Amino acid sequence: MKILKAEHLGMCFGVRDAIALALNTARHGPLTILGDLVHNETVLVGLRERNIQMARHPDEIATQTVMITAHGASDHALQLAQGHGRKVVQATCPLVHFAHRALAQLVQQGFHPVIIGQHQHVEVRGLTEDLTEFDVVLSAEDVARLAPRARFGIVAQTTQPVDKVAKLVGLIRQRFPTAEVHYRDTVCQPTKQRQQAAIDLAQQVDVVVVIGGAHSNNTRELVNTCSRFCPRVHHIQTVADLRPEWFYPDDTVGLTAGTSTPDELIHQLENWLQTRLNIVVQHPEPILA
C-alpha cells in the first residue's frame, strides 16, 4: 500500500494572508470578523481560541474593529460594517477583488451581468448585492431560464471548476447566438492548479482522501472532480473522520486538500495513514497528454 500526494497541497496565499492579518489585528485590540474568515472549522476554532469574535450580521458586531473575510463583500455590506464609527479591515483575497473589478467593468460597459456560481455563497453575494439586475447560473437549467439580452457579461465565482464554467459559457452563447457574450476569466489560479492536480492524482490511485472544510466550495469541487476519475473518494474534515475499512491492502491512496486546509491537518492525515496502514508516501507521476 502506498499514498500519492497531489501537487499544490496546503493553504493558498489568500487564505494564509487573511489568517495572518486577523491574528496581527487582534494583537492590537478586540476584533470581530463579519462571517467566516475562511470555510474551515479548524481554522475558525483557532481564531475563537484567540478571542477573535465572529458575527453573521453587522448588528451583531460588538467591537470597534471589524474584518471582512477572504471571500469579499459588497459596498453595501462595507457601509453597514462601518456603522457606529467602526474601523474596517479587509482580508479580501486579491483574486476576489479582481473578480469584483471585472464584473464592475462589464456592467459599466453595458453588459447584463451573469455570475457562474452558487447563488447563496458569500463570495457571490458580495459580487451581486450592489447590482440592481443580474443572474446567477450553475446548471444548464439555470441557463435555460435566462431572459434574452443583447449583451451578456459573464464572470465566475473564483472557486468554480474551469470545465464547468467553460461549459456554461458555451451554453449561453449557444442559446443566444445573436447576443454579444463577453466572458472574463475570474477562476483563481490556485483553484485551477488544484483541480488539475486532482485530476492527475485521481487517475493513478484506487481511493482518494480529500481533506477540507464541509462548507468549502473548492473542497467540494475537488471531491466532485476526483469522483469523475476514481470510484472511491472520501471527504474528511479531520483525521477523526477517517475509517480503516475504507482502505484495502493493495490500494494506492491519493491525498489532496482544499485551499483553506491548514498544513497541520495534512500532516496529521499523512501520519495517520503511515502509522495505521503502513503506507509509503510518494508523489504522483505527471499525466502525459
DSSP, residue by residue, 133-176:
S-EEE-SHHHHHTPPP-SEEEEEE-TTS-HHHHHHHHHHHHHH-
φ, ψ dihedrals at 78, nearest 5°: -65, -40
Of 91, 179, 95, which is closest to residue 135 (Cα–Cα)? 179
Place of cell 498544513: 263
Residue 73 grid cell: 463583500
- Which of 7, 49, 123, 245 is the catalytic position? 123
Q: How far is CA 228 from the centre of its chain?
A: 19
Q: Give the residues across from 136 on adjacent strands.
A: 115
Rounded-to-integer distance, Cα 7 and Cα 256, Å: 8
Half-sphere exposure of 267 (CA within 13 A, CB side): 4
Residue count of the chain, please give it.
Answer: 289
Assess whether 123 carries a catalytic annotation.
yes
Q: What are phi and psi of 160, to 5 degrees?
A: -80, 145
Closest to 283 (Cα-Cα) out of 8, 11, 6: 6
In this prediction the pTM is 0.88
Q: What is the structure's pLDDT at 286? A: 53
pLDDT tens-digit profile, the chain (289 residues)? 788 999 888 899 999 999 999 999 999 999 999 998 988 988 999 999 999 999 988 889 989 999 999 999 999 999 999 988 999 999 999 999 999 999 999 999 999 999 999 999 999 999 999 999 999 999 999 999 999 999 999 999 999 999 999 999 999 999 999 999 999 999 999 999 999 999 999 999 999 999 999 989 999 999 999 999 999 999 999 999 999 999 998 899 999 999 999 999 999 999 998 887 765 555 555 554 4
pLDDT at 278: 65
pLDDT on residue 177? 97
The confidence score (pLDDT) of residue 288 equals 46
Cα distance between residue 233 and residue 260, in whole Å:
19
Question: Which parts of the chain fold into alpha helices (H)?
Answer: 13-26, 41-49, 75-81, 94-108, 122-128, 140-144, 162-175, 189-202, 217-229, 263-277
The number of C-alpha atoms within 13 Å of 281 and in the hemisphere containing its C-beta is: 13
Domains of the chain are: 2-10+189-282 (3.40.1010.20), 13-93 (3.40.50.11270), 95-183 (3.40.1010.20)
